[in-house]
Structure 1
Amino acid sequence: MEGLYQSLLFEGLDQHTIDCLLGYNGRVRKYSPGELVALQGDVYKALLIVDKGLLRTEMTNAEGSRVTLEEIIAPCAVAPAFIFATNNCLPVSIFAVLPSSVVSIPKNKLTTIMHNDSKVLENFLRIISDRSRFLSERLRLLSFGTIKSKLRSYFIELTRDNDGGSFTIPHTHQELADIFGVTRPALSRAIRQLEDSGIIRRKGGRRYELLQ
């Protein structure tokens, strides 16, 4: 469980302290790419932490339309805000993208750990706060403007930590279309329009430069 020891939940704690707090090795399950980890609507009884690999969360409506909300890399926690919610049913389905292993910490055990170590409680609250900011930004991208304006805002976010305005799209066109809740042809058309308008320039593969 090397990934678990690097989790933000246990940031600032050494491995021995983490083992003492857990009191056991933890339940670890392995998943193959595409395998279902948890289903939308399942009661969330144990906090999941990605020990290794990559997971994807998807939300589906009654008509079967789906939106990809995020990808969760090791060693991040999965849906931490829902473990203590009054209605603690998962709002998303969770799938493995890569070969993955996931550690589960039962809710009552997590409560005991946070009671015994205030640092873990502080870390947990920070994780929830950071996740809320992330989801607020994702909601903004999904809710306002045309697909072109949403893409431009997304590309600006990707260039934030890069010099010169260059960025690499970390998803395939289909994955990006799922994130924005549009079809793949609509997404490809919007990207071409941004290129034709001189807003972005393709440098090869998934790498682009933001010009405006």
Structure 2
Amino acid sequence: MEHYFSVLSHCSLFHGIGQEDLNEMMGCLGAKITSVSKGEPVFLEGDPAQMVGVVLSGGVQVVQDDYYGNRSVLSILQPGDSFGEAFSCAGLDHMPVSVFAVKESEVLLLNCRRILTLCSHTCHFHSLLIQNLLQGLAQKNLAFTQKVRYMSQKTTKDKLLTYLLDQAKQQGSAEFVIPCDRQTLADYLGVERTAMSAELSKLKKAGQLDTKGSWFHLNPVERHI
């Protein structure tokens, strides 16, 4: 597990927990590492809601399908990000969402009930884990608020630019790579991919941005929407 410590140290769930406690903790929490191929599920809607996942490598997306099979991307997660804790802590019996790998990935799975329940060994890191779990849930609530902000924009162009400007700010550069492909981005923003592609073509032709695949460069003129 020491091999993944650099990744886990960036996960809010393990904030303040030293490497020396890692192996003991993993055994206490019933941890296991699973490899997931691109496009394959980590969880499927309807699976038991009892595990917390942490992305160790690659990337995953949390999705929800409606009755007609229309897919909405709820979040896009990178190494160090966790998922599934809200549903486990809410006491749900089954997962209301699915989680798919968007590239070859490794995922750490933890039993949430073991996180929330002090073990017979009274491991000293348990109280810190619970504190970190609550803080992580609050952060996810903020991320959901951010998604609502994107989707509340009136036009596809405004949704797209609001997202891209946030990515530039987060990465500290007008040149950046987004953590998803074009289809995933369209699903995340709640827009049609063809409409989004048309807006990107217009923005590129107007000299407001350059893009290729997941790479973007925002030109200074497009600092305001």
**Same fold by TM (over 0.5)?**
yes
What residue identity is the alignment partner of 2:4?
A: G
**Secondary structure at 2:185 match in 1:** helix
Counterparts of 2:190 and 2:40 in 1: how far apart (Å)? 22
Structure 1 residue 12 corresponds to structure 2 residue 6: no
Structure 1 residue 147 corresponds to structure 2 residue 156: yes
Report what 1:83 is aligned to.
Answer: 88
Instruction: Tell me if structure 1 keeps the 8 A contact 2:59–2:103.
Output: yes
Selected match of 1:33 from 38, 42, 46: 38
Identity %: 26
Deviation at 1:20, TM superposition (A): 2.6
Structure 1 residue 54 corresponds to structure 2 residue 53: no
Change (3 A) 1:37 1:204: closer
TM-score w.r.t. structure 1 length? Answer: 0.84
Deviation at 1:123, TM superposition (A): 1.4
Counterparts of 1:139 and 1:76 in 2: how far apart (Å)? 20
Counterparts of 1:204 and 1:23 in 2: how far apart (Å)? 44
Report what 1:192 is aligned to.
Answer: 201
Report what 1:160 is aligned to.
Answer: 169
Deviation at 1:17, TM superposition (A): 1.8
Q: How many residues align?
A: 211
Change (3 A) 1:31 1:82: same
Counterparts of 1:53 and 1:161 in 2: how far apart (Å)? 20
Change (3 A) 1:179 1:203: closer
C-alpha root-mean-square deviation of aligned residues, in Å? 2.6
For structure 1, the 5+ residue unaligned runs are: none
Report what 1:3 is aligned to.
Answer: 4
TM-score w.r.t. structure 2 length? Answer: 0.80
Deviations 1:119-174 (A, max 9, x none): 22221112111111011111221233111111121122022146674444443322
Change (3 A) 1:88 1:128: farther
Deviation at 1:3, TM superposition (A): 2.9
For structure 2, the 5+ residue unaligned runs are: none
Structure 1 residue 73 corresponds to structure 2 residue 78: yes
Selected match of 1:126 from 135, 156, 165: 135
